[in-house]
Amino acid sequence: MTASTMTNSTQPPSAKPAPPAAPDIPARRAPAEPAVTFDVRHLNVWFSSNQVLDDISLQVPPKAVTAIIGPSGCGKSTFLRSLNRMHDLVPGARVQGSITLFGEDLYASHVDPTVVRRRVGMVFQKSNPFPTMSVAENVTVGLRLNGVRQKALLNERMERALRMAALWDEVKDRLHANALSLSGGQQQRLCIARALAIEPGVLLMDEPASALDPLATAKIEELILELKKQFTIVIVTHNMQQAARISGFTAFLYLGRLVEFDETAKIFTNPSNQQTEDYVTGRFG
Amino acid sequence: MQKHFDEELGSLKEKLLTMGSYAESAVSQAVQAVTERNDKLARQVQDNDNIMDQYEIEIDDLAIHMLSKAPLATDLRLVTVAMKISQNLERIGDEATTISRRAVELNQEAQLKAWLDIPRMAAVALGMLKESLDSFVNKQPEKARAVIPRDKEVDAINRQLYRELSSYMVENPSSISRCLNLMTVSKSLERVADHATNIAQEVVYLCEARDIRHEAHKP
Amino acid sequence: MNDLYYNWRKAKSSFISAACFVCAVIVITPLALVLFHLVRLGASSLDWNFLTQLPKSVGESGGGMANAIVGSLVLVGLAAGIGVPIGVLGGVYLAEFGSGKTNFVVRFAADILNGTPSIVWGIVVYALVVIPMKGASAYAGGLALGFMMIPLVIRTTEEMLALVPNGYREAALALGIPQWKMVVHIVLKTAGKGILTGVLLAASRVAGETAPLLFTTPGNHFWSHNLSEPISSLPVQIYVCAIGPYDDWHRQAWAGALVLLCIALAVNVGARLTTGRNSPHLAR
């Protein structure tokens, strides 16, 4: 594993001796509360010659849910994926501008994108638990494939992640069943647990409930409201009522530009920008 | 889908305005029943009160139905403001009914004195109501804001009338029932002005998303 | 009037269905004929002796093809030793790491290799291995068959890996798992059964090749004790028996052909059964 300045190796003092932290896995977040999680400045993204994001600047506040809304194709997912350097995997993608996470530049030349992705978890629209693994193996895969071997630590993290994802009670008796035996909503919560197990400080969610039925969606939204007490969450959604329900801050993107970014209450009761008003009341286009 | 919603919004506004004109004419007719000593007019006002009640129910129903579609921004403010305005208008209707009942009582005895203050109060209160409803139709927050200070005028006339009637009652015990009825009429008109003020405040919230209620109490 | 049109349409539809059925039957017929023929001519000679004894010397009757059967297995094993690593890694490169330009070159090369006639492989390995080693050997035979396996395995590996939905790759990378680990632990594991099937099918294809073996390991009447010696194999032994002058040998050739076909059928059917049970997660 490449050492990197991104590794956060401080641990707060605890009553019982904690097991030794595995290399490159952040053990705990730093005690001091940062004012801003992501500081995005003049972000531009191109796919080949096609500019997808145009000069976006905003600051994602910590321990809150920030929703990204906008019509299809406006660049919401592209923006989200630039927060954990997923565009590095796309040939022809070019990212310009600066994004800092807790003050550290994510795109600096010495930064290993793999390490970035361990600090920023991601949940996708279609739940994708690994099909050859059991529930338990899925949750701990991020830890195991990054070098963590101690069974006790793995089990502890697995239980904690499953509890945080509000899934423990439902699966604790079938931890070794294949992950695909769970229902759609449970699979999505399993993916959330999988992301949480590596203890990122941030969770990115790309339309996490859009493939689920209303009951499962409600559970996911409830979960997000719980999780925001501990994590910074950025969620892309095309459902404005969902954004109104669960987010504290909302950014409205259109054609790759940031039109408005403000507290959710303001965006949905009295937006400053006429375009935002038109989109939010459904009178767009 | 938006067109359907817009039609419902239009229907909501229409109902509100119709209710508003009913309220205006109810108050004006009730005061007329007092000043012209017209019992028939008074009974007409009482009969028309249930029209206003019906409107309030219809408007609230429509508003709840529209809320279930989760409107946002201006639409959301409009629906919630509509519910509040309809409530205020319904109460104005109730005040008009009170005035008309007092009119019937007053008409059974001789007229007390020249009607000076009651018509004056009524004119101001009705003016406030008209202006606030106009500002709602035309989305004019400045007009709405102009309505609010006039409430003090009406309060002043009410207080003055109370003082006059109180001293008169002491001097002329035979006029007590007439004075009490007049005090009730005055109080009702003062309440009409208060409701018109509320409507104006709701219009400001609708247009500017600013809640200016209870600002007098702010430090 | 509508009724008439409907009947005409029904008639057309029935005719086409019947034609398709007939075609299906035509397809199955050769296989049935071959099986029937082989069973008729070879089953009688197929006995325990046949499976366990060495061929007898010229002139003697009886004997078997035990060493040929074992020899074929050894050769396929050697071929797999070459074909599987190169083929799978090549397929992994094409599916996971390649770019448009390099992929084109690799695929083109694989297609050429695939199209090379098997006898050419025989000659090439003869020149490269048999002559320097001054003799035929199992190594040479295995190498020739291995070269033939490579393009088959590359092709099926790449296809199986392409069937793995991209969502798994993204999810793994989003967990901060390095790309090579993602490929090995997630993608390969998911496509594993499919790749295995592809390998088995390639092996059974290659097991029946005769031409390359003629140049590289033309046969051995006895057990081979050393892989640098020539080794017997079923296809070659069948060939030798078939062109020989003795009826006894001809019978043995039929029996050998029946055994070869049965092995091929068993591997094919077995491979399909394994894939069938596991295709759901590849089809997501």
Residue A39, φ and ψ in degrees, nearest 5: -115, 105
From chain A, pick out residues whose CB is under 8 angstroms from the CB of B77: 269-270
Of A86, A132, A146, the CB nearest to C189: A132
Can you tell me the distance from the alpha carbon of C188 to that of C133, in angstroms, rounded to the nearest whole number? 38
Task: Please give the structure tokens belonging to residue B89.
Answer: 């208008």
Residues A282/A284/B4/B7 CA torsion (nearest 10 deg):
100
Give the Cα separation of A263 and A220 in Å (integer).
22
Among A114, A119, A101, residue whose Cα is nearest residue A27 = A119
Flag whether pLDDT at A4 surpasses 60. Answer: no
Cβ of A180 within 8 Å of Cβ of C168? The answer is no
Q: Let me know if A267 is exposed, middle or buried by CB neighbors in 10 A (0-12, 13-18, 19+).
A: buried
SS3 A58: strand
**pLDDT for position C227:** 82
Chain A contact probe: residue of B3, B67, B72, B77 with most A CBs at under 10 A: B72
Distance from CA of B35 to the nearest CA of A (A): 46
According to DSSP, residue A67 is labeled E
CB contact under 8 A, A115 and C168: no
Q: At what angle do helices B150-171 and B117-138 cross, to 10 degrees?
A: 160
Q: For residue B55, what are its two tokens?
A: 């409107």
At residue B207, the 3 state secondary structure works out as helix
Q: Does B114 touch chain A (CB under 8 A)?
A: no
For residues B124 and B128, give the distance between their C-alpha atoms in angstroms, rounded to a whole number: 6
pLDDT tens digits along B39-62:
999 999 999 999 999 999 999 999
Residue A11 predicted with pLDDT over 60: no
Q: Which residues make beta-bridge pairs with A46? A: A51, A94
**Cβ atoms within 10 Å of A121's Cβ, excluding its own:** 27
Share above pLDDT 90 across residues of chain B, in percent, rounded to a whole number: 79
pTM, entire model: 0.81
Give the separation between CA B40 and CA B62, rounded to whole angstroms: 34
Give the number of beta-carbon pairs within 8 Å between A and C: 72
Q: Residue B42's pLDDT is what?
A: 94
**Closest to B72 in 3D by CA, of A66, A243, A259, A60:** A243
H helix or E strand, kind and range, residue A129: none
State phi, psi for C165 to the nearest 5 degrees.
-60, 145
Determine contact: B72 vs chain A, CB below 8 A.
yes
All residues at 6 or more sequence positions from A158 whose CB lies less than 8 Å from its CB, including other chains: A136, A139, A140, A175, A193, A197
- pLDDT score, position A96: 93
- Neighbour tally for A76: CB within 10 Å: 25
Give chain B's residues under pLDDT 50: none
Burial B116-142 (b: 16+ CB within 10 A, else e): ebbeebbebbbbbbebbbbbbeeebbe
Residues of chain B with C-beta less than 8 angstroms from the C-beta of A271: 73
| Nearest-Cα residue of chain C relative to residue A198 | C175
Residue C183 to chain A, least CA–CA distance (Å): 12
Query: What does chain B come to in residues?
Result: 219
Give me the helices (H) in C93-163, please: 100-115, 118-125, 131-133, 138-163
Residues B178-189 as b/e (b if ≥16 CB within 10 A, e otherwise) read: bbebbbbbbbbb
Chunked into runs of 10 residues, chain C (284 residues) has average pLDDT values of: 87 95 94 88 79 74 78 92 94 89 90 90 91 87 93 94 94 94 93 91 91 86 82 88 85 87 88 65 38
Domain range summary for chain A, segments of one domain joined by +: 38-128+200-280
Which residues from chain C sit within 8 angstroms of residue A192, using beta carbons? none
- Partner-chain contact A244 B72, CB within 8 Å: yes
Contact C138, C227 (CB under 8 A): yes
Distance between B76 CA and the closest CA of chain A, angstroms: 7
Which residues in chain A touch residue B73, judged by CB atoms under 8 angstroms apart? Answer: 268-271, 277, 280-281
Tell if the CB–CB gap between B2 and A283 is shorter than 8 Å: yes
Question: Is any Cβ of chain B less than 8 angstroms from the Cβ of A262?
Answer: no
d(CA C276, CA C284): 14
Q: Which domains does chain B have, with CATH numbers?
A: 2-217 (1.20.58.220)
Q: Residue B106, CB half-sphere, CA atoms under 13 Å: how many?
A: 28
Q: Angle at CA C41, nearest 5°, toward C36 and C44?
A: 110
Strand A257-263 versus strand A249-254 pairing type: antiparallel
d(CA C42, CA C257): 8
Distance CA C169, CA C186 (A): 8
Q: Which residue of C has its CA nearest to A129?
A: C168
Please answer whether residues B134 and B143 qualify as being in contact, where contact means their C-beta atoms are separated by less than 8 angstroms: yes
Per the prediction, chain A carries an average pLDDT of 88
Q: Is A271 on the interface with B (CB under 8 A)?
A: yes
Q: Report pLDDT digits (tens) over A41-97.
A: 999 999 999 999 999 999 999 999 999 999 988 899 999 999 999 999 888 899 999
- Which region, left, alpha or beta, applies to residue C248 given φ > 0 means left and ψ of -120 to 50 means alpha? alpha
Query: A152 to each of A5, A140, A176, how far by Cα in Å?
Result: 28, 12, 16
A202-206 and A120-123 as β-strands: parallel, antiparallel, unpaired? Answer: parallel
Number of neighbouring beta carbons within 10 Å of residue A101: 23
pLDDT at A279: 93
Residues of B in contact with A280 (CB under 8 A): 72-73
Q: How far apart are CA A70 and CA A64, in angstroms?
A: 20
> Can you give the length of chain C in residues?
284
Determine whether the interchain pair C174/A84 forms a contact, defined as Cβ–Cβ distance below 8 Å. Answer: yes
Q: Strand pairing of A104-105 and A93-101?
A: antiparallel
Distances (CA, A) of C244 to A84, B166, B188, C98: 72, 142, 127, 51
Tokens of B136: 């709602």
The residue among C281, C250, C249, C262 whose CA lies nearest residue C61 is C249
| Separation of alpha carbons C212 and C144, rounded Å | 6
Which residue in A106, A63, A66 sits closest to A87, CA to CA? A106
CATH classification code of A38-128+200-280: 3.40.50.300
Structural tokens at position A149: 């071997």
